[in-house]
Structure 1
Amino acid sequence: MEGTKQKVVLSIRVAKSRGIWGKSGKIGKGQMAKPRVLAISTQLEDKSQQTKAFLNVLKYSNGGVLEPAKLYKLKHLSKVEVLTNDPSGCTFMLGFDNLRSQSVAPPQWTMRNIDDRNRLLLCILNMCKDVLGHLPKVVGIDVVEMALWAKENTPVVSKKRNIQDGPVPAAEVIAESDMKVTVEKELVSQAEEEDMEALLGVYVMGIGEAEAFSERLKRELHALEAANVHAILESEPLVDEVLQGLEAATVAVDDMDEWLGIFNIKLRHMREDIESIETRNNQLEMQSVNNKTLIEELDKLLERLRIPSEYAACLTGGSFDEARMLQNIEACEWLTGALRGLESPNLDPSFANIRAVREKRTELDKLKTTFVRRASEFLRNYFASLVDFMISDKSYFSQRGQLKRPDHADLRFKCRTYARLLQHLKSLDNNCLGPLRKAYCSSLNLLLRREAREFANELRASTKASRNPTVWLEGSGGSNQNVNNADTSTVSDAYAKMLTIFIPLLVDESSFFSHFMCFGVSALAPPGSPANGDNNDDDLGIMDIDDNDASTNTKNTSELEALNESLRDLLDGIQEDFYAVVDWAYKIDPLRCISMHGITEKYISGQKADAAGYVRLLLDKLEERITAQFTRFVDEACHQIERNERNVRQMGVLSYIPRFATLATRMEQYIQGQSRDLVDQAYIKFIGVMFATLDKIAQTDPKYADIILLENYAAFQNSLYDLANVVPTLAKFYHQASESYEQACTRHISMIIYYQFERLFQFARRIEDLMYTITPEEIPFQLGLSKMDLRKVVKSSLSGVDKHIGAMYKKLQKNLTSEELLPSLWDKCKKEFLDKYDSFAQLVAKIYPSETIPSVTEMRDILASM
């Protein structure tokens, strides 16, 4: 089979018909015979290796080409029936058990002759037996007759194509090996075949010769036919009567056929009427169901569009008193639900353009606008009246002799009554919250600033502290040293008290405002943080106002920006009262800026929540103010240091060296474990100016420059020795002063030594310079470096060397104001002189080996005795 893997076993041309032969011998339109070709084929499955058998029906196309029409699987063949109404016996029917419609009669196949019929049926039966393992039901044909025919027609001759019968497929010629039928072995058993042969043998022996028997049968047949004709002739009257009855019956049948045709037409018309009635009935029933559903939907819609009179009255003209707030909240909830119910997700889109829905939406919008306007006006007036009432009561604020901590519990309790109302206003019209927030911030800002101003004034008035002057490092002495030791801790304590009272208050006000005014950001400081102070009673549990607190935890950038803007309106201006306390404390004791800076840093580290953002900005500004004030003090002190440079003549230790030690000691007392950045930066600036000023003063008189430097650097080390062991910044400058001291000592001692023994060491220097260019043996022959010159230099410098050394001691002692430095300087001077003399002695031994000078040991003994 073309296009498939099926192998054709047998193909044969047949005629297809349907129905039965009529009495008139005519074939109807649906009973016309149609030429077909039946092909038996097999196919071997690749996976299961099983053989499947098929019956292919092929028809002729317009061009006379065969094409597939139908395909049957032989495993579904259940019945093979040879029709008895065909006298030729060439018509049969194949019944399959898997046909979709069993009510339609299967097609009938008509062969050209009996041999073709038997050949096709035997092939089908053999295929069912070999491939499928079972036989279908055979009706209308004798199996024995089929077996005998198969035995006689085993050799199959190839058919020749009949051109007149139309095209025959190539597969119609069947190989001889494929048509060897073993029906006798399969359809009739060996025992049955032997029995039939024995029976036929006995029957033939009883008759005798076949010709005689045939003649006998012919004679008997003629006799019977004659008898039948005689009997028919005798029964002519009966036949005529029968014919008349048949004619009458035929007439009645024709009448009945006519009546049946009439009834058929009427029934067809009635069927059409019934179908029309059923169609209209179905339409009416569908319309009824639709109308019922529509009425139900309209009832629901009308119920949704209905505005309860009590809610309408409450929204348009109700009171906002505390006793009426429950009704207002219920009306708000209904209005919110009604507006949400008319939106697209909750309302079918097909209802959106209905005029009643549009009108009702407009009416609800008017209700919303009216209610929002009334509620906003009431809340603005309510906030102002609350604050005005509190400001008018003077006992509410701090008074002379009495510091009063602000208490906003009652204020927040009254505001919380309207918290739910604000949430509904936000859901109804988010834009209305802006003016309400401004009104609340404006009113409460007056109260907070009044509380801070009164508290700060009374705090300064009730704090007793002696004022320290800012003149710390100036050159004049006097009793200021004692004044600087006065206790000013009450100043920083007052500042700490101001922060302790007001920073938690401002944080709580920010948190309350964030919740109360429906900002969707986190507003509470971490529990136990310094920002919350010792008592957190101001947190009134605003979180339970809104059941859906998931949105509160969502950080929205725009909401946070709006919150910070409102908090600026709420708290702006209160920083001036904090600045006043800082300035007051600075005037009393500038060093208290250190303590206040540490206190402020502690509060800054405790502000983490978003709602406390402006409080953190306030603390940052306070820190900047304190830093600026302390920087001002440092600049003034540095200016006082620089004024020492203008003095005409200064000797000894400058006054600001010991005063700086006193200042540093007190600054360290004020730090108390806080951040050191502020103080360390002051140290760096102080000492930088001190050292620069010291260098400028020393340069004014080069003759005594080294004396001034070594005395002041020594005083700096002595005064800061203890602090340098614990303060890394001071330790760095301590080492710098130590290096500068050593350099100044070395220069001053070298100057004194050269002053007394200039010729001696000048002679040694000339020798050292010549050793780079000529050999040592040639040096005694140079001008001014002969042995005679050496003897003159040694005699002038070392004769009476004890007097020269004594003069060197007096020179060192003469200009030194710090007597305690003299022993160490004299030791350095003797050591330096001995080192230089040792070098000179080595040069003499190398250049002038025959000359003798005092030995190094003698010189050491002379120095030791001095």
Structure 2
Amino acid sequence: MARSSADDMELRRACEAAIEGKQKVVLSIRVAKSRGVWGKAGKLGRHMAKPRVLAITTKSKGQRTKAFLRVLKYSSGGVLEPAKIYKLKHLSKVEVIQNDPSGCTFMLGFDNLRSQSVAPPQWTMRNKDDRNRLLLCILNMCKEILGRLPKTVGIDIVEMALWAKENTPAVTNQVSTQNGPATSLVTQNDSQVTVERDLVSQAEEEDMEALLGIYVMGIGEAEAFSERLKRELLALEAANVHALLENESIIEEVLQGLETASICVHDMDEWLGIFNVKLRHMREDIKSIESRNNKLELHSVNNKLLIEELDKLLERLQIPSEWEAALTGGSFDEANMIKNIEACEWLTDAIRNLEVPNLDSCYAKLRAVKEKRAEFILLKCTFVRRASEFLRNYFPSLVDLMINDKSYFSQRGLVKRPDHAELRCKCRTYARLLQHIKSLDKNCLGPLRKAYCHSFNLLLRREVREFANELRASTKASRNPNLWLEGPTASSQTANNADTSTSEAYSKMLTVFIPLFVDESSFFVHFMCFEVSTFAPPDAPSVDRTASNGNCTNEENLSKMNAHGNDVKPSNNPAELAMLNECLRELLDGTQEDFYSVVDWACKIDPMCCISMHGITERYLSGQKADAAGFVRLLLDDLETRISVHFSRFVDDACYQIERHERNVRPMGVVPYIPRFASLATRMEQYIQGQSRDLVDQAYTKIVSIMFVTLERIAQTDPKYSDIVLLENYAAFQNSLYDLANAVPTLAKFYHQASESYEQACLRHINMVIYIHFEKLFQFARRIEELTFTIPSEEIPFQVGMSKVDLRKTLKSSLSGLDKAIGAMYRKLQKNLTSEELLPSLWDKCKNEFLDKYGSFLQLVAKIYPNETIPTASEMRELLASM
């Protein structure tokens, strides 16, 4: 047998050199690599076997040892180099290819290969001995290091164990002795072939030998062996039959015992059937007895519950005598109100308890329940009728007591503030009664509300009338003329001191009665059980609540609760709101006439007080936002409109006086309404006092617009002096309103408008004065400018009237006696000007305008007539400055 490559030490050293000594080589052997050459026909180049070397290596890391399968290939120079490496811990299958007749081809399957669709390579050995030697080494490594064996296909483990036992290599060692060399046979440790100890134990080996020895019995053919076994089986069956016949007597005794037991079992079955029938009848009797007993117990329980329900029902149907007496004939005095309220609460609960949600529907159809419900309804109607009649008479009587007391109202020399604390204290006594009346019969509230409104309306109208009369009588105000913009100018003292006594009287009127009306409205909403959201809590402090009411406000809480003490959430129902506003109108209607009379009286004395009264009204109006204050808002709106109408009339009168001035004035100097407007604006600002200024700004806009339009018309009556009239009046307007324009944006806008108009009038007047004395000079300059648009500049001196000679004549006629012409220009400005304080600024503007025009003329002459000698602009400026 040829020497195996596994014993080639040169090959092992080459493998160690290829892996650079990083791992220990246990076995190295040459193989041929191919893919599917057995069993498939393929191209020769694709399936050609390639020489490779498989090396089993190990690597120790601490106490752990790892085993690897390395594939090495030959380089072009015949040197081994690493190709691939596999970890033996991933070896899952060892399969010997069945298509290879020699059995030398096998595959190694690893479970960590990335692509399982590609067939693993096939390794072909030289002979079976090399194959078995490699596979035994791999299996031994898996058993020792990993503790498990991979799956083997096409390999008999027992056969391999026997092969390993027979082919364990041995080496002969020569030992020198005295008698000569001796030979000893030892097992080679380097081969590491010890798989037979691990795969098949000694005991398993002995069992296999015994089993194999059984078949060495001289049996020639299988048919003869089968016949022998049949004969032995027949002999065994005959022996069994003989043994049974010998034991016949014993079998008969057993059969007799079985028959006796069967008879006993049959008798027992009959007895059990009889007992079963008796037990069934007994069970039926017991069930019948239990059923009758349960029915009796159920009847007993039902009768007991029925008695309890009837007792409860009787309690609901029975009317206590004390409550019946209180509901049918009791008194409504304050001392009996607690008893009346308790009786009313009982009646409300009794009626509610007889209704279906609180009472079983089967009870609701009972005759006794129906009759008792009708009796309760009759009792309710009786009580509601009596209570409504009492309250309809109580409200007028309560008001009559107040009206008949003259000390309660304002008197001569004494303006008295109304106080309704005692009145409301008495009304609160019946607040809970009204809530119960509403819960019993909601429709009866309408007449009660009307009776309350009618009675208290008389009181409120009397209070407002007496207060307003005494307020007007006690107010001493100086009468100011309405014609502010005609006649002599008002003195500075009159213009700077505003008489606000009338507006203070109006403010006092609102301060007293607007909170009173709002408080009365709020009290009415809660007292008369309206389910709407109000503008103030019912017990909020107001101007007419003083310490004199004591603890009355705490005796009855007027918060929105129903008759059962539960809170009622406001619904803001449109129908409810409409009904509330109608009642409030009936309650407060007629009081507005006295407010109107105070406004008319104040405006007649001093129309300017409309400004402060308008601001006061706006402040009160902004505080009334709730729906329940509808009448108060309407009253304030009407007052604001009335004040605006009075002030608009005053403004219209002022505008009429300005327009009438147009026909009666000579168009010279400052018109008188301009300084008078400054006095008027100063006084109007004193009346504003930090309040809303929309009304005043609208008046400013209307008056000043009429002033400017009228001024333009006055100026156009004599075009010769129109610019002088405009510039003097616009200057006067600016001077008189300088301080106010810095503080009032509306006047600042008109101030800037007057400033622009003033500048335009000054420019027109100055140009007119300049052209009067230097007309030829600036007309020549204008002709030069016109010709520059049509012909070249160098051709202008050759035009008719534009030669250098013509230029010299123009300069001689215009600039000779220049000081006289300038003096005449100054006198022209001074001649028709009535406001001497305007002359210096106007003369400065005139000189600047003349120098600008003269500078433009010099530029044109220098461009068209470059060699002409003309006085320069600096010479002209020095000449003007010296005069």
TM superposition score normalised by structure 1: 0.66
Partner of residue 557, structure 2: 544
Following superposition of structure 1 onto structure 2, how do residues 419-434 of structure 1 map, counting pairs within 5 Å? 419-434=431-446
Following superposition of structure 1 onto structure 2, how do residues 302-381 of structure 1 map, counting pairs within 5 Å? 302-381=314-393
Partner of residue 645, structure 2: 628
Partner of residue 676, structure 2: 659
Shift of 1:657: 0.8
Partner of residue 468, structure 2: 456
- Give the Cα–Cα distance (whole angstroms) in 1 for the partners of residues 657 and 459 of structure 2: 44
**Is 1:498 aligned to residue 509 of structure 2?**
yes
Check the 8 A contact 2:519/2:542 in 1, yes or no. no
- Give the Cα–Cα distance (whole angstroms) in 2 for the partners of residues 626 and 824 of structure 1: 45
Check the 8 A contact 2:526/2:559 in 1, yes or no. no
**Is 1:556 aligned to residue 568 of structure 2?**
no
- Give the Cα–Cα distance (whole angstroms) in 2 for the partners of residues 553 and 218 of structure 1: 109
- Give the Cα–Cα distance (whole angstroms) in 1 for the partners of residues 348 and 718 of structure 2: 91
Partner of residue 703, structure 1: 720
Measured on the aligned residues, the alpha-carbon RMSD in Å equals: 3.5
Partner of residue 9, structure 1: none
**1:380 alignment partner, SS class:** helix
Partner of residue 756, structure 2: 739
- Give the Cα–Cα distance (whole angstroms) in 1 for the partners of residues 795 and 769 of structure 2: 32
Q: For residue 741 of structure 2, what is the amino acid of its counterpart?
A: A
The Cα offsets for residues 168-194 of structure 1, whole Å up to 9 and x where unpaired, read as: xxxxxxxxxxxxxxxxxxxxxxxxxxx
Shift of 1:720: 0.9
**Is 1:398 aligned to residue 413 of structure 2?**
no
User: Could you list the runs of 5+ residues in structure 1 that have no partner in the other structure?
Assistant: 1-208, 225-252
1:844–1:286 Cα change, 3 Å: same
Partner of residue 737, structure 2: 720
- Give the Cα–Cα distance (whole angstroms) in 2 for the partners of residues 583 and 371 of structure 1: 51
- Give the Cα–Cα distance (whole angstroms) in 2 for the partners of residues 554 and 805 of structure 1: 88
Check the 8 A contact 1:567/1:614 in 2, yes or no. yes
**1:646 alignment partner, SS class:** coil
Shift of 1:434: 1.9
Higher alpha-carbon deviation: 794-803 or 821-830: 794-803
**2:557 alignment partner, SS class:** helix
The Cα offsets for residues 130-169 of structure 1, whole Å up to 9 and x where unpaired, read as: xxxxxxxxxxxxxxxxxxxxxxxxxxxxxxxxxxxxxxxx
Partner of residue 52, structure 1: none
Partner of residue 296, structure 1: 308
Check the 8 A contact 1:594/1:667 in 2, yes or no. yes
- Give the Cα–Cα distance (whole angstroms) in 2 for the partners of residues 451 and 541 of structure 1: 27
Check the 8 A contact 2:420/2:545 in 1, yes or no. no
1:545–1:746 Cα change, 3 Å: closer
- Give the Cα–Cα distance (whole angstroms) in 2 for the partners of residues 220 and 807 of structure 1: 182
- Give the Cα–Cα distance (whole angstroms) in 2 for the partners of residues 285 and 555 of structure 1: 54
1:332–1:848 Cα change, 3 Å: same
Shift of 1:608: 4.7
Shift of 1:315: 1.7
Higher alpha-carbon deviation: 456-465 or 856-865: 856-865
Partner of residue 239, structure 1: none
Partner of residue 421, structure 2: 409
Following superposition of structure 1 onto structure 2, how do residues 432-451 of structure 1 map, counting pairs within 5 Å? 432-451=444-463
Shift of 1:661: 0.9
Higher alpha-carbon deviation: 643-652 or 293-302: 643-652
**1:544 alignment partner, SS class:** coil
Higher alpha-carbon deviation: 555-564 or 739-748: 555-564
Shift of 1:215: 9.9
The Cα offsets for residues 288-344 of structure 1, whole Å up to 9 and x where unpaired, read as: 432332222122112101122332232222222222212211110111101111122
Shift of 1:428: 1.0
1:211–1:664 Cα change, 3 Å: closer
1:728–1:268 Cα change, 3 Å: closer
Shift of 1:368: 1.3
1:778 aligned residue (786, 795, 807) = 795
**2:488 alignment partner, SS class:** coil
Q: For residue 510 of structure 1, what is the amino acid of its counterpart?
A: S
Check the 8 A contact 1:698/1:705 in 2, yes or no. yes
Total equivalences in the alignment: 624
Q: For residue 398 of structure 1, what is the amino acid of its counterpart?
A: S
Check the 8 A contact 1:514/1:611 in 2, yes or no. yes
Check the 8 A contact 1:531/1:606 in 2, yes or no. no
Check the 8 A contact 2:512/2:543 in 1, yes or no. no
Q: For residue 824 of structure 2, what is the amino acid of its counterpart?
A: A
1:285–1:847 Cα change, 3 Å: same
Partner of residue 520, structure 1: 531
Higher alpha-carbon deviation: 809-818 or 612-621: 612-621
**Is 1:853 aligned to residue 854 of structure 2?**
no
Shift of 1:703: 1.6
Q: For residue 810 of structure 1, what is the amino acid of its counterpart?
A: R
Partner of residue 796, structure 1: 813
Q: For residue 797 of structure 2, what is the amino acid of its counterpart?
A: P
- Give the Cα–Cα distance (whole angstroms) in 1 for the partners of residues 727 and 250 of structure 2: 177
The Cα offsets for residues 443-465 of structure 1, whole Å up to 9 and x where unpaired, read as: 11111111011100100011001
- Give the Cα–Cα distance (whole angstroms) in 2 for the partners of residues 432 and 281 of structure 1: 59
Partner of residue 759, structure 1: 776
- Give the Cα–Cα distance (whole angstroms) in 2 for the partners of residues 752 and 579 of structure 1: 60
**Is 1:579 aligned to residue 596 of structure 2?**
yes
Check the 8 A contact 1:526/1:608 in 2, yes or no. no
1:219–1:412 Cα change, 3 Å: closer
Following superposition of structure 1 onto structure 2, how do residues 687-698 of structure 1 map, counting pairs within 5 Å? 687-698=704-715
Q: For residue 400 of structure 2, what is the amino acid of its counterpart?
A: D
Q: For residue 751 of structure 1, what is the amino acid of its counterpart?
A: M
**1:343 alignment partner, SS class:** coil
Following superposition of structure 1 onto structure 2, how do residues 475-514 of structure 1 map, counting pairs within 5 Å? 476-477=487-488, 487-514=498-525
TM superposition score normalised by structure 2: 0.65
**1:540 alignment partner, SS class:** helix
Q: For residue 732 of structure 1, what is the amino acid of its counterpart?
A: K
**Is 1:809 aligned to residue 843 of structure 2?**
no
Check the 8 A contact 1:314/1:327 in 2, yes or no. yes
Higher alpha-carbon deviation: 391-400 or 762-771: 391-400
Shift of 1:742: 0.6
Partner of residue 638, structure 1: 655
- Give the Cα–Cα distance (whole angstroms) in 2 for the partners of residues 399 and 855 of structure 1: 90
1:499–1:664 Cα change, 3 Å: same
**2:355 alignment partner, SS class:** coil
1:681 aligned residue (695, 698, 708) = 698
Partner of residue 183, structure 1: none
Shift of 1:690: 1.3
The Cα offsets for residues 247-270 of structure 1, whole Å up to 9 and x where unpaired, read as: xxxxxx9xxx99x99x99999999
Check the 8 A contact 1:329/1:420 in 2, yes or no. yes
1:217–1:784 Cα change, 3 Å: closer
The Cα offsets for residues 337-361 of structure 1, whole Å up to 9 and x where unpaired, read as: 0111112221112212222222222
Q: For residue 570 of structure 1, what is the amino acid of its counterpart?
A: L
